[in-house]
């Protein structure tokens, strides 16, 4: 397998955690988003959508979209499972994941921040307000669900790590990148801290990847 | 089951198609997004995230996030299946769905359009340009994949309807709502037309729901 990713990409981070949890070590190929490498021919041939990550499996098929890639990894490498087996639990894990991957992250990705800056001439303070607004809405939704559900345990869904934890951690790291304060969200913080004690999460952290700075 | 939805909500439209395909007829409860009913207590108690749709199953569990709800319906009512059985096919169906549900739709929902209008003071022409930019990027990504993949058949994934077709149709109807021209995307148009010949899609159309206008 070949894993096209970049240290700063939060969607790549999600897949990197899943790969680590399952003990998979594909060849990693860097696509530097900060130099616009995702728009150059070499990567466009892999993923014409020019978004990260992409996972090329052994028959050459290119997988894209972090959620679809994690579900695929869970289908073909089911141990440990990232999606529980009971239907209502599966639905909750996928819904919590969706708060991150459909409602929050898409609003703060580079192409959106660039549109705000270059097309709408929104200054840095205005862009930060935008980012905090949508990261905040997502964080509140996560905290409300996690703090009130009897399904919540050491992790999002009881006491086993699931895709929801992966998404939650990527969200929390995004909040850190953009200095959105997580202090008012104790359940989110507690679960993120529990996850980060796991080596699969810790070594996947964006700032621990080759080429990453010491801080953002 | 109780299905909280609204005629104009594209995420509700997706779940409505899935329910129709599976022959399920839950009680439908309208939450008028145009009157802000999603922010009132009655619905906040159901879904604190104040987003549509929500599906309340018979034991009272509230399901949210359209993708998670569709996966749940497929888990418990597998005939007809909306997710194929082969892992690479599953990954492609979920990835195509993700282009719609993670990359395109989140950027044009009411809360984003309202933020552009009220917080960033973007005028109607500017908002339309924003919407067309992100609907356009999604449509191009869908067309490029669908037109070039040997997996594409009468529908997105060979000749059986999947979740990807449901997402594609919701995307196309969103394009129509916002007058984004689909003429340059023949594969997208062909598959959408094939889907709309199916009664489960046709009767789920937003403009055919109670309370909907004749056109938008």
Contact B52, B31 (CB under 8 A): yes
Task: Provide the shortest C-alpha distance from residue B141 to chain A (in Å).
Answer: 6
| Phi, psi for B122 (deg, rounded to 5) | -80, 130
**Are A68 and B120 within 8 A, CB to CB?**
no
> What is residue B135's three-state secondary structure?
helix
pLDDT at A53: 97
Number of other residues whose CB lies within 10 A of the CB of residue A48: 16
H/E element holding A194?
helix A186-196
**Are A119 and B111 within 8 A, CB to CB?**
no
**Residues in chain A within 8 Å Cβ distance of B67:** 67, 94, 98, 102
Q: Where in the sequence of chain B do the CATH 1.20.1050.10 domains occur?
A: 87-202
Tens of pLDDT, residue by residue over A96-136, are 999 999 999 999 999 999 999 999 999 999 999 999 999 99
Residue B125 CA, distance from chain mean position = 25
The C-alpha atoms of residue A159 and residue A156 are separated, in whole angstroms, by: 8
Report the DSSP pairing between strands A54-56 and B2-5: unpaired
pLDDT at A49: 87
The CA-based angle A59-A63-A69, given to 5 degrees, is: 120
Question: Is the alpha carbon torsion for A21, A25, A27, A32 positive or negative?
Answer: positive
Burial environment of residue B208 by CB neighbours within 10 A (0 to 12, 13 to 18, 19 or more):
exposed
Picking from B187, B106, B99, the residue whose alpha carbon sits closest to that of residue B138 is B99
Q: Is the pLDDT of residue A34 over 90?
A: no
Q: What is the pLDDT along chain B (216 residues), one digit of tens a residue?
A: 999 999 999 999 999 999 999 999 999 999 999 899 999 999 999 998 889 999 999 999 999 999 999 999 999 999 999 999 999 999 999 999 999 999 999 999 999 999 999 999 999 999 999 999 999 999 999 999 999 999 999 999 999 999 999 999 999 999 999 999 999 999 999 999 999 999 999 999 999 999 999 988
How far apart, in Å, do the first and last CA atoms of chain A sit? 30
Chain A nearest-CA residue for B60: A88
Which of A98, A107, A120 is the closest to B68 by Cβ?
A98
pLDDT at B119: 98
The C-alpha atoms of residue A159 and residue A121 are separated, in whole angstroms, by: 46
Report the DSSP pairing between strands A27-30 and B62-64: unpaired
DSSP H stretches of helix in B9-60:
10-21, 41-44
What part of B 121-150 touches A (C-beta under 8 Å)?
122, 126, 129-130, 133, 137, 141, 144-145
pLDDT at B42: 92
ipTM of this complex: 0.97
Please, what's the largest Cα pairwise distance for chain B?
Answer: 49
What part of A 23-52 touches B (C-beta under 8 Å)?
48-49, 51
Residue B114 CA, distance from chain mean position = 20
Contact A111, B104 (CB under 8 A): no
pLDDT at A216: 85
| Phi, psi for A168 (deg, rounded to 5) | -60, -45
The whole-number average pLDDT for the span A31-56 is 92
Report the DSSP pairing between strands B27-30 and B62-64: unpaired
- Write the CATH number of the domain with boundaries A87-202: 1.20.1050.10
Q: Where in the sequence of chain B do the CATH 3.40.30.10 domains occur?
A: 2-80
CA distances from B115 to A125, A130, A132, A134, B32 (A): 15, 8, 12, 10, 19
- Write the CATH number of the domain with boundaries B2-80: 3.40.30.10
- pTM of the predicted structure, to 2 decimals: 0.97
Tens of pLDDT, residue by residue over B12-62, are 999 999 999 999 999 999 999 989 999 999 999 999 888 999 999 999 999
The C-alpha atoms of residue A189 and residue A194 are separated, in whole angstroms, by: 9
**Are B102 and A65 within 8 A, CB to CB?**
yes
pLDDT at B172: 98
The C-alpha atoms of residue B48 and residue B46 are separated, in whole angstroms, by: 6
Task: Provide the shortest C-alpha distance from residue B107 to chain A (in Å).
Answer: 7
Chain A nearest-CA residue for B126: A120
Question: Is the alpha carbon torsion for A186, A192, A194, A197 positive or negative?
Answer: negative
- Mean pLDDT over the full length of chain A: 97
Burial environment of residue A34 by CB neighbours within 10 A (0 to 12, 13 to 18, 19 or more):
exposed
pLDDT at B158: 98
Task: Provide the shortest C-alpha distance from residue A215 to chain B (in Å).
Answer: 28
């Amino acid at each position: 397998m070949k894993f096209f990713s970049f240290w700063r990409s939060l969607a790549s981070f999600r897949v990197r955690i899943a790969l680590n949890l399952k003990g998979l070590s594909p060849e990693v190929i860097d696509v530097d988003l900060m130099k616009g490498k995702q728009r150059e021919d070499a990567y466009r041939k892999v993923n014409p959508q020019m978004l990260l990550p992409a996972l090329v499996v052994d028959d050459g098929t290119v997988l894209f979209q972090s959620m679809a890639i994690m579900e695929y990894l869970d289908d073909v490498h089911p141990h440990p499972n990232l999606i529980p087996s009971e239907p209502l639990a599966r639905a909750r894990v996928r819904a919590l994941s969706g708060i991150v991957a459909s409602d929050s992250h898409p609003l703060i990705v580079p192409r959106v921040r660039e549109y705000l800056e270059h097309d709408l001439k929104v200054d840095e303070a205005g862009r930060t307000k935008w980012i905090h607004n949508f990261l905040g809405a997502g964080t509140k939704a996560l905290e409300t669900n996690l703090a009130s559900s009897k399904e919540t345990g050491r992790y999002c869904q009881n006491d086993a790590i699931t895709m929801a934890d992966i998404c939650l951690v990527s969200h929390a790291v995004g909040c850190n990148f953009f200095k959105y304060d997580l202090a008012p969200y104790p359940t989110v913080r507690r679960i993120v801290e529990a996850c980060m004690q796991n080596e699969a999460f810790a070594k996947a952290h964006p700032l621990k990847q080759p080429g990453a700075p010491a801080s953002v």
